[in-house]
A and B are shown apart, each in its own frame.
Chain A
Amino acid sequence: MLNPRIIPFLLVHNKGLVKTVKFKEPKYVGDPINAVKIFNEKEVDELIVVDIDATREGREPNYSLIENLASECRMPLCYGGGIKTVEQAQRIFGLGVEKIAISSIAVKNPDIITEMAFRVGNQSVVVVLDVKKKLLGSHYELFTHNGNKSTGIDPVKFAAQMEKAGAGELVINSIDRDGMMNGYDQTIVDKIREVTDLPLTALGGAGSLEDIGNMVKRHGIIGAAAGSYFVFKGKFRAVLINYPTSLEKETLLNEYFLPQWGTHNKGFKF
């Protein structure tokens, strides 16, 4: 049966791989291509790579980097950062990427999602929602430009709007939990789950397999993404690229996924 996805989320800054805390203090953690090679060996479910400089610097995506990443990747790759037009999106697909992640342009011009979805297929258009909890009350706000630009938009409403526009997947990225490794923000994932049937990927806060397990237990089929958890080891946050082994994954799914969500393969008479 279909399994939930466990996804390393990697940030590119100044051509190197970095990890942030609450979207700040980027710490160098290695070379992107080398990381992809390690994740190949570990047979990860999927990989998301976001260039955090492109939109901020107002420049084109780094096509040669994307091409190198894509040709190395033996699993599905989602690229984000600086994509503003349908032409750019198509060029990136031509380099061997399965999905593109869109953020700021989706806020500025939601219609572009529809256009991109027609050209490259809905399933390949991923919208990333960088969300922050408001200081007062239980509401959240959507941010863009690496968390620097507030939009005044309610991410829950925005999620529903993106589904209508033709997005194929939503990544919910909690700015407050980024790099904290103290668990996902379940509340915002739950809220968005209520308004859309789209595949969701939760990001921000995962610090243990248990965190991932709890997300899976609650939502069944979901993407559980993490940055810090897959690049740091131990309480001193030593850089070490890691990912659950197939046995660890199986154990995790047996404990958190199958009891609630498992169905039997009904089979088929050939």
Chain B
Amino acid sequence: MITIIDYGLGNIRAFHNVYERLSIPVKVARVLEEVEEASKIILPGVGSFDYAMRQLNSSGMREVLERRVIDDKIPVMGICVGMQMLADSSEEGTEPGLGWIKGNVCKFDANLIPFKSRLPHMGWNTIVPKENVNLFNGIENHGRFYFLHSYYFECDEKSQVISTTDYGITYASAVNKENVYGIQFHPEKSHNNGIRLLNNFAKL
């Protein structure tokens, strides 16, 4: 059962709709018992880093979430701010992150961006996926996804970067360590490429 963590932010409904359309069992977790039953977890997120961390910390689900991810090693995928929360810290705030993938979340340097429209990085951009990553099965090199963010995940271990994207710099648009995945773009709002990715996650 794919379980989407609802801690008060992130587009829960969009993920739910995609999986329903794919006829893949999906559930929304609002209390810890529901996290216990999960076999795969999606951690969505929008908004500011600190607000997201505080919401998760006060949701009552964090502890069991950590146990399921760290001890039980069930696959988890953080999306957008949900990806950034996997890091140790963020320049956007002062709250510590989950620290599941080593790294820091940094703000894009607006001076490096070749357009007058600088931040947020918003719209359809391409990804260059690493080879043989199951999450990207069937997704072409330079496949397009929808992005909406001003901060990016600076991963300590370059080997944990599974896709890159250009925006002023070349940065990690997806990361992975063992059962933990982070995706900066929005597969739930990226038409067929996004649906394919979410389907791939379900099959991991």
> Footprint of B on A, CB under 8 Å?
1-5, 40, 43, 45-46, 67, 70-71, 73-77, 93-98, 118-124, 168-169, 193, 197-200, 219-223, 261, 263, 265-270
B46 touches A70 (CB 8 A): no
Contact residues of B with A, CB < 8 Å?
9, 11-14, 17-18, 46-48, 51, 81, 110, 114-126, 128, 130-131, 142, 144, 146-150, 158-159, 161, 164, 166-167, 170, 186, 189-192, 194-195
Question: Are the CB atoms of A96 and B11 closer together than 8 Å?
Answer: yes
| B148 CB contact (under 8 Å) in A43, A95, A96, A98 | A98
A74 touches B189 (CB 8 A): yes
Instruction: Tell me the smallest distance from the CB of B84 to a CB of chain A, in Å.
Output: 11
Asked whether, in the complex, the Cβ of A98 is within 8 Å of the Cβ of B189, the reply is: yes
| B189 and A2 within 8 A (CB) | no
Given contacts A43-B192, A123-B149, contact A267 B128 (CB under 8 A): yes
Q: Is the CB of B46 within 8 A of A265?
A: no
Q: DSSP majority for the B interface?
A: mixed
Contact, CB under 8 Å: A4 / B123: yes
- 23 CB contacts below 8 A, A to B, read A2-B123, A3-B144, A5-B123, A40-B191, A73-B189, A74-B195, A75-B146, A75-B189, A76-B146, A94-B13, A97-B11, A98-B186, A123-B149, A124-B46, A169-B122, A197-B116, A197-B119, A199-B123, A200-B117, A220-B114, A223-B123, A261-B114, A269-B158
Given contacts A220-B116, A265-B128, A268-B161, contact A70 B191 (CB under 8 A): no
The docked-state distance in angstroms from the alpha carbon of A250 to that of B145 is 16
Bound form: Cα–Cα A43–B143 in Å: 14
Give A249 Cβ to nearest chain B Cβ, in Å.
10
Q: B148 — which chain A residues lie within 8 A by C-beta?
A: 76, 98, 123-124
Nearest residue in B to A200 (C-beta to C-beta)? B117
Interface centre among A45, A67, A76, A219 (most CB of B within 10 A): A76
- Contact partner of B164 (CB less than 8 A), chosen from A198, A200, A268, is A268
Q: Is the interface of A mostly helix, strand, loop or mixed?
A: loop
Q: What residue in chain A is nearest B129 (Cβ atoms)?
A: A270
Q: For residue B9, which residue of chain A has the nearest CB?
A: A93
A4 proximity list for chain B (CB < 8 A): 123
Task: Tell me which residues across on chain B come within 8 A of A221, comparing CB atoms.
Answer: 115-117, 123
Q: Which A residues are CB-close (under 8 A) to B14?
A: 70-71, 73, 96
- Which residues of chain B come closer than 8 Å to A168, judged between CB atoms? 120, 122
Assembly CA distance A122 to B192 (angstroms):
27
Contacts of B124 in A (CB 8 A): 2-3, 5, 45
Q: Given contacts A4-B123, A45-B123, A119-B47, is CB(A98)–CB(B11) below 8 Å?
A: yes
Q: How far is the CB of A224 from chain B (nearest CB, A)?
A: 11
Which B residues touch A122, using CB under 8 A? 120, 150
Query: A123 to chain B: closest CB distance in Å?
Result: 4
Question: A95-B13, A197-B119 are known contacts; what are 9 more A-B pairs with Cβ within 8 Å?
Answer: A2-B121, A46-B146, A76-B146, A96-B12, A168-B122, A199-B117, A265-B142, A265-B166, A268-B161
